[in-house]
Amino acid sequence: MLFSSIAWGEHMPVFLCCGHVKRAWLKNIISKCKRGTALGLFKRLGQIMLMLPGHKESQSVFKQQVQTALDLLLKEHADQPDFVKYFNSTWGHKLGTI
């Protein structure tokens, strides 16, 4: 990552493949969560990933809606501290949140 910041500057956009992100989430949900909550958590993350902005919505309004959905999800699953810690440390800064 150091090379990319030297070559392209600090604010280079990074595009993530939805399939790779979902696979990483599933792998970590299974390893870090109780079996009964893993499926529901994975489904909710998938729904958040597929959120689309409304026709007349500004980018800031949409970003706030996604942030609110993520905050609610992480509060609801506070009993899964290993996953919450993983999600915040691995994905929080990539999503521009948390």
Q: How far apart are CA 19 and CA 9, in angstroms?
A: 27
Q: Does residue 3 lie in a domain region? A: no
Domain that holds residue 84: 17-50+59-92
Q: Does residue 24 lie in a domain region? A: yes
What total of structural domains would you count in the chain? 1
Q: Does residue 37 lie in a domain region? A: yes
Q: How far apart are CA 63 and CA 42, in angstroms?
A: 20
Q: Does residue 41 lie in a domain region? A: yes
The pLDDT of residue 53? 80
Q: Does residue 86 lie in a domain region? A: yes
* Over residues 30-50, mean pLDDT: 85
* Over residues 15-33, mean pLDDT: 83
What are the pLDDT digits (tens) for 68-94? 998 998 899 899 899 889 888 887 776
Q: Does residue 69 lie in a domain region? A: yes
Identify the residue whose tokens are 């070559």. 7
Q: Does residue 4 lie in a domain region? A: no
Judge whether residue 1 has pLDDT over 60.
no
Of 59, 54, 28, the residue nearest 42 (C-alpha): 28
DSSP 25-46: HHHHHHHHS-HHHHHHHHHHHH
